[in-house]
Each structure stands twice: as C-alpha cells, then as structure tokens.
Structure 1
C-alpha cells in the first residue's frame, strides 16, 4: 500500500538495514544548490531512529552534508520503495579499524514514507556485485560494517 508515513523505521526496514545494502542518498549540492544523488552500500541502522553510513571522507556527500544536513535515503525493501528523510552529520571524520579514509555519517530519521506508486509492488530487489578482487572486497566490507556496528 502506497503513501504510508512513519516517524521511525518499521521492523522490516530495520531488519533490511542490519547488513550491507544498495541504497541511494540524495543531498543538496554545496555548489549548485540542486539535488545530488549517489549510490552507497555501507549503511546500517543502529536503531529505528538512526542510520549510519560510511563514505570516503573527501566525498561530495560529506561536503554537501556539512553545508546542508537534510538528506533522503531511498531504500527498496519489503516489496516497496521507501524514502527515509532526516538530518545528517559527520559523527567520525576517520573511522578506526578500516584501511580507507572513511567518514561515519549519522542520520537522525525524521520521516519514513512508502513512495511506491499505487497498485504495484517490487517483485525483485536490486542486486549488485563488486567488480574488483572478491576476497579483498569481502574483507573490506566486513571491516566497514563491523566499524559501523561498533560506532
């Protein structure tokens, strides 16, 4: 059913965000003032009211959030598409235990909206593959997700 609005993550979304997952993040571009959309996968929900994600600390995402904290995460899960709005800030400039210079960004959720168009459901969720060394990718993913869980 479309257009349901919540203030926190519903249980199926919270569960979906307990592991690495494909999502998009929309920020306000710090130079143009227009929308900026990026795909990320290192995201984790420590509670129904907050999200953590990791991104290169030189990323345009970080620059955009520092100028304007309003963000939207788009998540495809639970047979639907959800818009998760909130205010973001850099919680940790450089995450420990990770070989890359990654920032940990925290989002305080203000609204969760089912934005799937009427009369439809998602029958197959997006899948992705890492295109570099599979063993190195798995090791890095494990390090980043462990750091997110322990933050």
Structure 2
C-alpha cells in the first residue's frame, strides 16, 4: 500500500505505481513484502540496501538465478525501486514504467532514499496495562466482544 494512502487516505495514479513496484520486487525476490522479515525490515528496505551496495543479485530468488540475465534482473530491481519512492513526484507514471521495462537502452535515474515511513520496523508486542484486551504488533487494542 502506498505510504500516502496508508497515512492520509490519499489516492492517486502514483499509488498504483507504488503497488506495481512492490509487486515487481516480490516477484523477483520470491518473497512477500508483508511479513518479509518481521525482526527488522521490509522487502523494500532490504532491496534498497543491497542495491545501494551493488549487491542487487542477493535480492533475486535463488531459483531464478541460474536462468536469468543478470543485467535485465538488475534493471527490473532498479525500476521497482523507482516505483516505490516515497515522494509522489519522484515516482514514474505507469506508462513510463512500461517504456522503461521494454527498453534496455534507456538510462534510469537513481532512486531517492526510502523515507522513514516506507521503512517498516515492526515493534515487539508489549503487555497491556489492563487485563481486558491485548495489544497487537501495531499497539492497537483488540477488543473481545462477548454476548450479554
């Protein structure tokens, strides 16, 4: 889910681009962004860190590595990272994403660093001060509904 939608319920055509970027990175890695690594980081952060260190192939699902074209997969990771940039203005339009995917000659801009709200760090659950409810990972109370 695009950060602008998750934080402020704002939706635009660039929200779909964000979702496409997440999907592209999920396909390449063979892992879901949701629950990727619950101890520290999301798939997006993981891919960003490895791409910045020129270790993008570590993102790729090991079943794909023997049969993939390295330059092509690294380009797809690059495009995926362009799609998940935090600032709407920095994300490409979907039509330009299609052009980027189809053209191997087009120079791609460097993606901006992921914003702090895109970097998802999951907090450890804490105990509630009352015995009536439990706290979820997001520290939102969960009500237990019992009939009267």
**Which TM-score applies when normalising by structure 1?**
0.26
Larger Rg: 2
Relative to total residues, which structure has the larger strand share, 1 or 2? 1
- The structure whose RCO (Cα within 8 Å, separation 6+) is larger is 1
